[in-house]
Chains A and B, each alone.
Chain A
């Protein structure tokens, strides 16, 4: 099933990029909202969580309007970088990133909040710089919670459909991800292809969930 492996490879590529982006963005925003206080902080949290509750097609529509040839951002990108994200795998990455972002950011924020601030204070008094404190104290204590979110974000990105369909279209080899391929196979009555694709997707999800289970908190064993 040529189409199946191409779709799988593409889905993994898009999901991997989206997750990498969300790892950086999620940690940054999670840390910011956990450790700083400013008016409107919770409002910002709510806004950042919006993609999780918004219907993916609505999100896809917003992205299409924004990044399209006549969209504000689309025009800007075209003029300054000569790129158009619609119908590209990079566009699919953007859609997947946005859709999965809350799943990474919220657990990250919770994980950072769970780190005892006093430990960071202790490190400060011991003379360690702020950035070093983040990498040596905060992150090591928060990483399990963050990772749980990252894995959730990964499977969400892997299964992204609605927004992707609008923004990236369905170009075999370029933007036809697993979910889209299944959709089209069913539409065309190609049940065999659909079944294969569904089995592959399910297998991948199970593998990821098993990996997530291994990393669950409570498994830390002190030597």
Chain B
């Protein structure tokens, strides 16, 4: 993955003001955005996905310009071909696991039918061990199961990058450790480029080859050089 990011944004809420200024160039397959809460990690990730529009700058992924304020380019999220995993997974509560996973494949005005079985969907259900749960609804699943459904849903679309927003925040510590390892293994297996944001140092260590430190909307360069590790 080739990520070229340089964004500026100013947010005002009453008397408070938040300035986001993040620059990053990376060829890593596993980027981690690490920092305390309120540092601007989520905003940065959303900007890449197209869910947030910065005031200025540009975002290029694998040579493709997703956003360029000066040139007036701002691709809609639908067109960016990235996958975004929300903190609480954002599974569609009115659809079964199977329908959720197949959601992105149906392009029209209708959701995939509950009994419809598509090859791609079945493949990913199998990859994440979700076949038994395929007919169930999100509110019947555990946290870990929901995360897997969210991942399967995201990967079905074969995205250029997988963006994960605090993927383990909703899980208890024990589960966290095992899911983290699983995610690391999946990512290696599938070879999908990944950007993870987290406030947990262990997450950053295990899931990030290139770790970016964010604090108060800015990248802390010193920390970055100290901890940058290249894994062959």
Contacts and interface: CB of A to CB of B under 8 A. Distances in A.
The answer on direct contact between A and B (beta carbons under 8 Å) is yes
A126 B153 contact: yes
Interface residues of B, number: 33
A44 interface: no
B110 A118 contact: no
A116 B103 contact: no
B7 interface: no
Interface in B80-115: 80-84, 86, 88, 90, 92-94, 103-104, 107-111
Number of contact residues on A: which range applies?
Answer: 20 to 34
Main SS class of interface, A: helix
A218 interface: no
B-side binding surface: helix, strand, loop or mixed? loop
Contacts of A127: 78-79, 81, 104, 107, 157
Interface stretch (A87-95, A136-144, A180-188): A136-144
A126 B76 contact: no
Nearest to A134: B109
B135 interface: yes
Contact of B109 (A116, A119, A136, A223): A136
B111 A124 contact: no
Nearest to B84: A125
Interface of B: 49-51, 76-84, 86, 88, 90, 92-94, 103-104, 107-111, 135-137, 139-140, 153-154, 157
21 contacts: A118-B86, A119-B90, A121-B77, A121-B86, A122-B84, A122-B90, A125-B50, A125-B51, A125-B82, A126-B103, A126-B153, A126-B157, A127-B81, A127-B104, A127-B107, A128-B104, A129-B78, A140-B111, A141-B94, A222-B140, A223-B135
